[in-house]
């Protein structure tokens, strides 16, 4: 049973539930306390000990049902074990006979434990991908003595008597039943040990895929991923906003705190430095080529409201407009559609956008503002209005420019990126969700 528990813990770990060694020991102690008889009690107790959040608990409950539905009771497992020792050196014909006996009606328990042993022998716990199911089913069948069965079947097929035909038919049925049993077991093994791994692999692929190439079918996965990234960043950056500078005495507050002790400084108060709260302005180019990226940047930033209390977004292609209202009123997908429809028309002009910004929103820039600009810097040969841009750069904390175009293309054709570059604290190429994550992390780190 210990082995079963440690395997179960392995399954949990592969599904991203972090179980420490200490918790594994607790699980063993728990089972020693409550015994193995009551399944639902076991489930409740292990859920208490091993899963440490609501989502982990639901993963645990699902895996528990999958895992322990297959585990044979300990009594029959030990019985089966002794049986398997005996079977190791029996003649092939006996092995085939034994297998066919297993598939007869009323022998389900024996079949189940034989399949279980075969799963062990074939190393089913190492299954990772759904494509491996057939392979593992095959090796399980082999471990059960499938080859002997196959040999008997061939023999029977070569005989031409009616008896031999009947025997062949019987053996074919046996083989079919065994194949079905092993395949089902292999599929369940994949569910327990491999499904989470596959999910993670797909997530990794999606996170490193070019954002403009994300297909509609992957949208749900991307949303989930963005939410995960947002949570990670929010946890990382929503630390305390004060930092004690040790060694610098705050004389005024120390005197105040110790007034009750006649000015004798029992409690010493150190000076604290307040950290700025992040304030972020996003200016997005929503012309065709950049639109796919705008969607993910805004999704990411707006999922982090708790870490970025002061956030506003502007969109432009020819004229610039504040889109906070739209994002707050409509559900996210609808909001993006509306923004693209309302603003995404006309030929892109960075100069016009910056002068609009100067006219209507200049007062929103102060020394703790980070301006994030998302765009390819292709301004249709218009005036880039560098004078305004220099002015913004001087007043803001910093300007970060995210460019979906590869570095090799900067400055080619109507791209005016190189003119803006000297005023930006950072100008980087973003193509994937990972890049976006890094960029936003960078922005927030500046406030820590």
Partner 1 sequence: MAKDKKTGYEPLTSIEAISAGLGTAGYISTTQISTAVFLAHGLRKPILIEGPAGVGKTDLAASLAKWMSLPLIRLQCYEGLDEGKALYEWKYGKQLLYTQILKEKLSELLGDAKTLAASLDKLSGFEDLFFSPQFLEARPLLTAMQQSKGSVLLIDEIDKSDEAFEAFLLEVLSDYQVSVPEIGTIRADVPPLVILTSNNVRELGDALKRRCLHLHIGFPDHAREQRIVRARVEGISDTLLNQLVRFVQSVREADIKKRPSIAETVDWARTLLLLHTSTLDEAFVRDTLNVLLKHESDIAAIAPAIPKMVREATGPDARGRLASGYPDVG
Q: Which CB atom, from 48 or from 206, has the smaller least distance to partner 1?
A: 48
DSSP H/E element including 30? helix 21-34
Stretch that binds partner 1, among 21-29, 107-115, 329-337, 399-407 (CB under 8 A): 21-29
Cβ(382)–Cβ(419) below 8 Å: no
Q: What is the sign of the dihedral through the CA atoms of 427, 428, 430 and 434?
A: negative
Stretch that binds partner 1, among 44-52, 83-91, 386-394, 435-443 (CB under 8 A): 44-52
Q: Which CB atom, from 240 or from 246, has the smaller least distance to partner 1?
A: 240
CB of 222 to partner 1, least distance (A): 23
Cβ(397)–Cβ(369) below 8 Å: yes
DSSP, residue by residue, 383-444 = ---HHHHHHHHHHSSEEEEEESS-GGGTTSTTB-HHHHGGG-SEEEE--SHHHHHHHHHHHH
Cβ(446)–Cβ(306) below 8 Å: no
Q: Which CB atom, from 44 or from 421, has the smaller least distance to partner 1?
A: 44
Q: Which of 5, 10, 36, 52 binds partner 1 (CB under 8 A)?
A: 52
Q: Which CB atom, from 201 or from 261, has the smaller least distance to partner 1?
A: 261
Say whether 306 sits in a helix, a strand or coil: coil
Q: Which CB atom, from 20 or from 445, has the smaller least distance to partner 1?
A: 20
Q: Which CB atom, from 23 or from 285, has the smaller least distance to partner 1?
A: 23
Number of residues that bind partner 1 (CB under 8 A): 30
* Alpha helices (H) along 208-305: 219-237, 251-257, 288-302
Stretch that binds partner 1, among 26-34, 175-183, 273-281, 371-379 (CB under 8 A): 26-34
The CA distance from 4 to 224, in Å, is 33
Q: Which of 2, 33, 106, 406 binds partner 1 (CB under 8 A)?
A: 33
Q: Which of 12, 24, 49, 110 binds partner 1 (CB under 8 A)?
A: 49
Name which of residues 228 to 287 contact partner 1 (CB under 8 A). 235, 238-240, 260-262, 264, 266
The CA distance from 92 to 206, in Å, is 50
Stretch that binds partner 1, among 47-55, 297-305, 339-347, 354-362 (CB under 8 A): 47-55
Cα–Cα nearest to 116, from 61, 163, 182, 19: 182
Name which of residues 297 to 326 contact partner 1 (CB under 8 A). none
The CA distance from 313 to 301, in Å, is 10
Stretch that binds partner 1, among 2-10, 17-25, 85-93, 148-156 (CB under 8 A): 17-25
Tokens coding 353:
């956008």
Say whether 287 sits in a helix, a strand or coil: coil
Cβ(444)–Cβ(230) below 8 Å: no
CB of 34 to partner 1, least distance (A): 8
Q: Which CB atom, from 240 or from 367, has the smaller least distance to partner 1?
A: 240
CB of 22 to partner 1, least distance (A): 6
Cβ(392)–Cβ(349) below 8 Å: no
Q: Which CB atom, from 30 or from 426, has the smaller least distance to partner 1?
A: 30
Q: Which of 51, 63, 171, 340 binds partner 1 (CB under 8 A)?
A: 51
Q: Which CB atom, from 160 or from 242, has the smaller least distance to partner 1?
A: 242
Cα–Cα nearest to 76, from 34, 33, 117: 117
53 binding partner 1? (CB under 8 A):
yes
Q: Which CB atom, from 56 or from 191, has the smaller least distance to partner 1?
A: 56
Stretch that binds partner 1, among 49-57, 94-102, 197-205, 381-389 (CB under 8 A): 49-57
Cα distances (angstroms) measured from residue 407 to each of 47, 289, 371, 439? 50, 16, 21, 16
The CA distance from 209 to 203, in Å, is 10
CB of 33 to partner 1, least distance (A): 5
Number of Cβ atoms within 10 Å of the Cβ of 311: 18
Name which of residues 159 to 198 contact partner 1 (CB under 8 A). none
* Positions in the binding site for partner 1 (CB under 8 A): 18, 20, 22-23, 26, 29-30, 33, 40-41, 44-45, 47-49, 51-54, 56-57, 235, 238-240, 260-262, 264, 266
């Amino acid at each position: 049973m210990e082995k079963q528990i440690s395997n179960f813990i392995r399954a949990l770990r592969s599904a991203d539930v972090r179980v420490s060694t200490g918790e594994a020991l607790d699980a063993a102690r728990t089972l020693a306390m409550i015994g193995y008889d009551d399944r639902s009690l076991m489930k409740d107790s292990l859920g208490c000990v091993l899963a440490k959040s609501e989502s982990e608990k639901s993963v645990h409950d699902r895996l528990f049902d999958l895992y322990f539905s297959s585990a044979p009771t300990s009594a029959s497992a030990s019985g089966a074990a002794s049986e398997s020792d005996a079977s190791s050196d029996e003649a092939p014909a006996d092995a085939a006979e034994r297998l066919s006996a297993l598939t007869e009606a009323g022998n389900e328990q024996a079949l189940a434990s034989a399949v279980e042993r075969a799963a062990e022998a074939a190393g089913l716990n190492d299954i990772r991908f759904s494509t491996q199911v057939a392979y593992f089913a095959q090796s399980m069948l082999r471990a059960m003595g499938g080859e002997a069965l196959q040999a008997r079947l061939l023999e029977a097929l070569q005989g031409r008597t009616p008896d031999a035909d009947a025997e062949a038919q019987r053996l074919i049925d046996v083989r079919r039943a065994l194949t079905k049993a092993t395949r089902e077991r292999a599929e369940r093994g994949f569910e327990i040990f491999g499904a989470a791994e596959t999910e993670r692999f797909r997530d990794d692929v999606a996170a490193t895929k070019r954002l403009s190439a994300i297909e509609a079918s992957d949208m749900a996965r991307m949303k989930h991923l963005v939410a995960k990234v947002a949570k990670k960043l929010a946890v990382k950056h929503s630390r305390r906003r004060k930092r004690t500078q040790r060694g610098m005495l705050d004389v005024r507050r120390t005197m105040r705190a110790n007034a009750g002790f006649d000015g004798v400084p029992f409690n010493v108060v150190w000076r604290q430095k307040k950290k700025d709260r992040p304030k972020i302005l996003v200016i997005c180019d929503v012309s065709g080529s950049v639109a796919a990226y705008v969607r993910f940047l805004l999704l990411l930033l707006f999922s982090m409201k708790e870490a970025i209390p002061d956030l506003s977004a502007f969109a432009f292609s020819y004229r610039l407009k504040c889109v906070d209202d739209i994002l707050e009123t409509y559900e996210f997908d609808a909001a993006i559609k509306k923004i693209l429809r309302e603003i995404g028309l006309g030929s892109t002009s960075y100069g016009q956008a910056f002068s609009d910004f100067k006219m209507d929103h200049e007062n929103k820039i102060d020394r703790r503002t980070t301006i994030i600009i998302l765009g390819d810097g292709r301004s249709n040969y218009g005036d880039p209005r560098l004078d305004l841009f220099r002015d913004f750069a001087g007043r803001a904390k910093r300007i970060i420019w995210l460019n979906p175009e590869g570095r090799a293309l900067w400055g080619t054709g109507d791209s005016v990126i190189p003119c803006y570059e000297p005023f930006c604290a950072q100008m980087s190429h973003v193509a994937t969700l990972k890049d976006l994550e890094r960029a936003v992390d960078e922005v927030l780190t500046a406030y820590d």
